[in-house]
Structure 1
Amino acid sequence: MSKNVNQSPIHSGFGSRTTAKEVLGTVSLQGKVAIVTGGYSGIGLETTRVLANAGATVLVPVRSFEKGVTALKDIPSAELIPMDLMDPDSIDRFAERFLATDRPLHILINSAGVMATPLRRDRRGYESQLATNHLGHFQLAARLWPALKRANGARVVSISSRGHRLGGVDFDDPNFERKAYDKWKAYAQSKSANILFALEMDKRGRAHGVRAFSVHPGLIPETNLGRDLTEEERGPKPIKDERGHSVSNEQYAVFKTAEQGAATSVWCAVSPQLEGLGGVYCEDADIAEAVPADSPRPDGVRPWAIDPELAARLWKLSEGLIKIPFAVE
């Protein structure tokens, strides 16, 4: 079970049907600066919209400037800057451009991601799901650290998934260089890494007013996340044990709209209910329950994703892989 004493619900009053606009309530974000990766599609787009409508200046990194302009045409205040999480040089250019403005960064939401892709590698040879979902965001946060610190009260939100329950980080072979590639194990590894990142980010950042959270947004069909899935693979599926027996009721899970799917990340980014808290995994706009490794429940967070020792180990591994020290000081 988790050593993180905060990992228990606070009974926020929200739930699976709550929308991002509802969790925001009357909170004003005038004068606040936010960056939302993946902020021009799916739940990222809704996150951008809600934050911008509350008065925040929202910067959206885009792989395709044309697609970004089209998607964000109704949010004229959003700022688009080119960046590709699979290209470390483009991450550096994005961060340098932002830091040159001397603006503080109050909210960083790492929402972009890929899921269950065929085996692909970035130019460094790193497996694409780990590279995109975790390492790219780790590098982005490292480069943006001066702006996060300058905010004197920032929040970092790492979008994970209940898919983390399918497996943790393989520290011996994270890039599938020796073992056979399994797209779901690779996805689970990257999502566990997202949770561990938030845990360690919060530990290192809290003395500087930077708190971090990880999020399962829910099952949202109206996104591009599952673009590599076959029709048969789409939708909730029961998790089975080694004998092929169903051990979860995932097939009965309820889909969310994008408005509902963006609720938990917005809640983590702005809610006063989370003052003094951090490093926790959240779902349905509340802190999730820590559950045992063999729990048949689809919800909750597994021990390997909230282990402080594994979080510190992942931080060190990530620094080595991106070849950038992320010293929080």
Structure 2
Amino acid sequence: MTTPQHKIGSGFGAASTADDVLRGIDLSGKLAIVTGGYSGIGLAATRALAAAGAHVVVPARRRAAAEEALKGLDGVEVDELDLGDLGSVRAFAGRFLATGRDAHLVITNAGIMACPETRVGPGWEAQFATNHLGHHALVNLLWPAVERGRGRVVALSSVGHRRSPIRWDDVMFERGYDKWAAYGQAKTANVLFAVHLDALARDAGVRAFAVHPGGILTPLQRHLAREEMVAQGWMDERGNVLHTFKTPEQGAATEVWAATSPLLDGMGGVYCEDCEVAEMVTGPEARSGVRDYAVDPDQAARLWALSAQLTGIDAFAR
């Protein structure tokens, strides 16, 4: 059984920042791996974790950009990683494991959103491959270090998971591409990944969570034309922001909270938002919460099996 999707009274909320949720928490001696930890909310998470004493490893597809963004930040190192390339994922994991270090926190923060139809690897749809399959491979390959660290894995999902469940009959959108449905499926996959990882890893002392960070204007929107953001109600024709967005520091709060909060000790396999465990929702009018299909343990196990088959990587295979 997963932890029920009910609020636990965290004392934090949508306006809380990553620094707020880490106040009083000492991460000295802890090592965190934050994919995409050099841009947007990932950068805010890296800064907050480092300020709390953690050593942060930031695997980056654009290494030079990462090194520039993180320049002067103590306790942070950058390495190369392209989540859309399994060879790159294997290479990064191999380099990390060769250091013999434990991984206490893993935040799978990197991702792409609503991109034009793109194929990577053996023809995989890029959003599913980058947001989900690359992270599935990464965490499984890093499992020896994660198991020794006995900490937490946090998968960055989104309210966008409500755009689509897993399309079991056409996961790779080979029969017509819809960029928003593909994004929704990938974000559902992120939740299901956390659900099944938690079921597999909890006996080893490792727990997993999925997180919706909230609405934030970041480089994640790079593939959206202004006209699309106007249509979404995010801004007007002149580029003036209309929607109330979180700051990157507020957006990073929930993933950092899920990775570190003592209130979550003994819990796992749940979807969190606004620094809280989210409630289950069903109606289309709901503006928060998690859909039942995204936390269904049977679908989570089915997705894990499919991901292991596609990537050839499963640390828990018997």
Shared fold (TM-score greater than 0.5)?
A: yes
The corresponding residue for 1:325 is 314
Pick one of 287, 290, 293 that aligns with 1:304.
Answer: 293
For residue 324 of structure 1, what is the amino acid of its counterpart?
Answer: I
The 8 Å contact of residues 205 and 328 in structure 1, kept in 2 or not, is answered as no
Superposition pairs for residues 174-193 of structure 1, below 5 Å? 174-177=171-174, 179-193=175-189
Specify every segment of 5 or more residues in structure 1 that has no aligned partner in the other structure, as ranges: 239-250
Which aligned pairs between 1:36-75 and structure 2 lie closer than 5 A? 36-75=34-73
Tell whether 2:161 aligns with 1:161.
Answer: no
1:278 & 1:100 partners in 2: Cα distance? 29
Assess if the C-alpha contact under 8 Å between 2:21 and 2:253 holds in 1.
Answer: yes
1: distance between equivalents of 2:90 and 2:6?
A: 36
- After the TM superposition, which segments of 4 or more aligned residues of structure 1 sit over 6 Å from their partners? none
After TM superposition, the structure 1 stretch with the greater mean CA deviation from structure 2, 65-74 or 14-23, is 65-74
Length-normalised TM-score, structure 1? 0.91
- Residue 208 of structure 2 is matched in structure 1 by 212
Once residues 242 and 222 of structure 2 are traced to their aligned partners in structure 1, the CA distance between those partners, rounded to angstroms, is: 22
Residues 328 and 281 of structure 1, relative CA distance in 2, 3 Å threshold: farther
Is 1:274 the equivalent of 2:264? yes
For the residue of structure 2 that corresponds to 1:61, the secondary structure is strand
Which residue identity is paired with 2:45?
A: T
Is 2:170 the partner of 1:173? Answer: yes
Structure-1 separation of matches of 2:63 and 2:302: 36
| Equivalent in 250, 258, 262 of residue 260 of structure 1 | 250
Trace 1:27-176 onto structure 2 (pairs within 5 A). 27-151=25-149, 153-176=150-173
* Residues in 1 aligned to 2:203 and 2:139: alpha-carbon distance in whole angstroms: 16
Contact 2:61 2:82 survives alignment (8 Å): yes
Residue in structure 1 matched with residue 223 of structure 2 by the alignment: 228
Q: Cα distance, 1:328 vs. partner?
A: 6.5
Deviation for aligned residue 1:230: 1.0
Query: Do the aligned residues in 1 keep the contact of 2:3 with 2:270 (CA within 8 Å)?
Result: no
Q: What is the total number of aligned residue pairs between the two structures?
A: 311
Task: Spell out the pairing of 1:273-292 with structure 2 (5 A cutoff).
Answer: 273-292=263-282
SS of match in other structure, 2:208 = strand
Q: State the identity as a percent.
A: 51
Equivalent pair of 1:145/1:328 in contact (CA under 8 Å): no
Q: Which residue of 1 aligns with 2:238?
A: none
Alpha-carbon separation, structure 1, partners of 2:107 and 2:231: 25
Q: Distance in 2 between matches of 1:93 and 1:211?
A: 25
Aligned 8 A contact 1:204 1:328 in 2: no
Normalised to the residue count of structure 2, the TM-score between the two structures is 0.94
How far apart are residue 297 of structure 1 and its match? 1.1
Whole-angstrom distance in 1 between the partners of 2:315 and 2:103 = 17
Q: Residues 100-137 of structure 1: CA distance to partner in whole angstroms, max 9, x if unpaired?
A: 11111100000000000000010310000001100000
CA deviation vs aligned residue, 1:239-261 (integer Å, no higher than 9, x gap): xxxxxxxxxxxx99631000100
Amino acid at match of 2:183: Y
Residues in 1 aligned to 2:165 and 2:51: alpha-carbon distance in whole angstroms: 37
Deviation at 1:11, TM superposition (A): 1.5
Q: In the alignment, which residue of structure 1 is the partner of 2:237?
A: none
Give the letter for the 1:47 counterpart: A
> Which stretch shifts more, 181-190 or 62-71?
62-71
Which runs of no fewer than 5 residues in structure 2 stay unpaired? 234-240
- Asked whether the 8 Å contact 1:115–1:226 carries over to 2, the reply is yes
Q: What SS class does the counterpart of residue 170 from structure 2 fall into?
A: coil
Aligned residues of 2:209 and 2:258 also touching (Cα < 8 A): yes
Contact kept? 2:38, 2:46, Cα under 8 Å: yes
Distance verdict in 2 for CA 1:269–1:78, change over 3 Å? same
CA RMSD of aligned residues (A): 1.6
> Post-superposition shift, 1:54?
0.9
2: CA distance between counterparts of 1:10 and 1:233?
37
Q: Which AA in structure 2 matches 1:229?
A: L
Match of 1:241 in 2: none
User: Which letter does structure 2 place at the counterpart of 1:321?
Assistant: L
Separation in 2, partners of 1:45, 1:93? 23
Amino acid at match of 2:265: E
